[in-house]
Structure 1
Amino acid sequence: MKALKFLIAAIFLSLLVPAFGNEISASTEKLAEKAETAFEQANSAENSQKLYLKAAKLYEKAAEAGAKNHKLYLNIGNCYFLAGDIGRAILNYRKAERLNPRSRAVQKNLSAARNLRLDKIDPNPENIIASNIFFWHKDFSLKTRFYAALLLVSVLIILISIRLSCPAFPGFWPSLCVLIFLLVCFGVSAGLGISQQDNSEGVITADKTVARKGNGEVYKKAFETPLHSGTEFDVLEVREDWIKAGFPDDSIAWVKRKDCELF
């Protein structure tokens, strides 16, 4: 069993990438060094779980200090994964995914963590189809979509300028239609991303929690069994100590605020 733990730790250590650039402060860099030291110590220590959690907390302090990037959240997720906290591992992998959706390391580790969840909620097939059709909204970061929209606007202006100076410009109308289509796709996607509030999604981080049909203990259970750590949801409404959550299968329930983390 120890050999298996060491092997897993070695794999994740190879994925523990430098997450801090030259632009960060000296205090943040020290936090990074302490976190990496704690992570390395955890790989060979008997109390490895505590050290992995210590490393995660240090990385989180670095994130709070302003060193936010997908590599940092990937490291935090790895620490929680090795500590056995699947909920917070998924939470931080999702934060990393939001910053860099195309990172193979993030997608691989997120998939591994999701496979360990106790709750198996199959997504609505219609949502899968929509996600595949509008793939760019999930596959590209907000920054990429925003700059793509700006680039398309520039190309559109250039194309119209050429048309005005050369009315016989061949292929103008097909090119114009394609450009407008792409501009609408990326422009709307970027606009939705910008308008999307923080804490619009969440993850159950408690070992288990009972979902209710309303925002209080007096309401009936929404599901026959409790929800467990790692279950993801969309935040539909926040009301005092309760959150109205929308799940991948389009079911809706209320969960306690203290039993989950939002991002």
Structure 2
Amino acid sequence: MKQILGFLLLTLPCFCFAEAEQHYSDLFEAGNVHYKNGNYDSATSIYQQIQGAGYESAPLLFNLGNSYFKQGAFPEAILNYERALKRDPSNPDIQFNLSMANNQIVDKIEPLPGFFMSNWWKAIHRSFDLDYWALLCIAFSAMVALSIFLFKTSQEPSSKQSYFFGGILGIFLFVFCVIAANSQYTERYRNEHAIVFDSSVTLRSEPAENSSELFVLHDGTKVQVLRTEASWFYVAIADGNKGWILGSSLVKI
């Protein structure tokens, strides 16, 4: 009897979790139906309900961004596209819709030209998500282990040489994948970005209202948060300009 009770206690949370997953999956489909029928406000409410319950994914954020875009709420659309892109950085649909939303806002900021190698490396490590890079790391570590095993057990000199170079190649690919995964992790989680939500805000030279005015940003513009001081954020924009802005003017990605 105790064993049966223990089994029920262990499996009950799993069943509840599965039911919750199905519930929010059904809600997501209901939101999609509202979106297809042009009921963008209803679709937005449903997507927000799912998001508020903690079931956040790239497709959900993408659809939420689309709903906001259709309603002309471009800062909200950009925020959700950016959040979706963090989870699926190589998705061309998210990239395209984000560029469309950025075309609708006031600030058209030209980014600083990057070095060729820097741009190339970004394209490489963004080509897969973190989970895929992790799988590649596991695969190449297994390749190294197998090469070592075959090298030690093989009696043929030519075969041992092949296994040796196979192991070297596996080590190189493993290290490459680790570095790529770390680059994407750093870009996604350690580099903090935010979206301006005030219709117009002045950036200042110091974290104080009476400091010198530098330039003005408008809602929908993306900034990188470099550091904070009390309620002020020191931020940089794509063209390299920097200044202090009140944190209440921003929503973090």
TM-score (normalised: structure 1): 0.75
Residues 259, 111 of structure 1: alpha-carbon distance in 2 compared, 3 angstrom cutoff: same
Q: How far apart are residue 221 of structure 1 and its match? A: 2.1
SS in 2 for 1:222: strand
Aligned counterpart in structure 1 of residue 63 of structure 2, from 47, 72, 75: 75
Residues 62, 126 of structure 1: alpha-carbon distance in 2 compared, 3 angstrom cutoff: same
SS in 2 for 1:126: coil
Matched, 1:59 2:55: no
Aligned twin of 2:172: 181
Deviations 1:218-247 (A, max 9, x none): 222232xx1122211222223332222222
Deviations 1:116-162 (A, max 9, x none): 23222222222564132342322221212222222221212212222
Matched, 1:234 2:230: no
State the superposition RMSD in angstroms.
Answer: 2.8
Name the % identity: 24
Deviations 1:13-49 (A, max 9, x none): xxxxxxxxx76446635754664465456x3xxxxxx
Aligned twin of 2:24: 28
Greater mean alpha carbon deviation, residues 25-34 or residues 229-238: 25-34
Distance in 2 of aligned mates of 1:53 and 1:127: 43
Residue pairs, 1:100-119, within 5 angstroms: 100-119=88-107
Distance in 2 of aligned mates of 1:178 and 1:205: 49
The answer to whether the Cα contact below 8 Å between 2:143 and 2:167 also exists between their aligned partners in 1 is no
Q: How far apart are residue 114 of structure 1 and its match? A: 1.9
Give the number of the structure whose residues are more often helix, by fraction: 2
The answer to whether the Cα contact below 8 Å between 2:59 and 2:84 also exists between their aligned partners in 1 is yes
One-letter code of the match for 1:222? L
Aligned twin of 1:244: 234
Residues 214, 161 of structure 1: alpha-carbon distance in 2 compared, 3 angstrom cutoff: farther
> Which of the two has higher C-alpha Rg?
2
Q: How far apart are residue 84 of structure 1 and its match? A: 1.3
SS in 2 for 1:125: coil
Distance in 2 of aligned mates of 1:128 and 1:208: 35
Distance in 2 of aligned mates of 1:242 and 1:132: 34
Distance in 2 of aligned mates of 1:67 and 1:235: 26
Distance in 2 of aligned mates of 1:149 and 1:65: 33
Q: Which runs of 5+ in 1 are unaligned?
A: 1-21, 44-50
Residues 27, 220 of structure 1: alpha-carbon distance in 2 compared, 3 angstrom cutoff: farther
Residue pairs, 1:101-180, within 5 angstroms: 101-126=89-114, 129-166=117-154, 168=158, 169-172=160-163, 174-180=165-171
Distance in 1 of aligned mates of 2:177 and 2:59: 25
Runs (4+) off by over 6 Å: none
Residues 152, 248 of structure 1: alpha-carbon distance in 2 compared, 3 angstrom cutoff: farther
How many residues end up aligned between the 2 structures? 232
One-letter code of the match for 1:191? N
Aligned twin of 1:204: 196
SS in 2 for 1:211: strand
The answer to whether the Cα contact below 8 Å between 2:191 and 2:224 also exists between their aligned partners in 1 is no
Residues 214, 151 of structure 1: alpha-carbon distance in 2 compared, 3 angstrom cutoff: farther
The answer to whether the Cα contact below 8 Å between 1:199 and 1:262 also exists between their aligned partners in 2 is no
Aligned twin of 1:15: none
Q: Which runs of 5+ in 2 are unaligned?
A: 1-17
TM-score (normalised: structure 2): 0.77
Q: How far apart are residue 87 of structure 1 and its match? A: 1.4
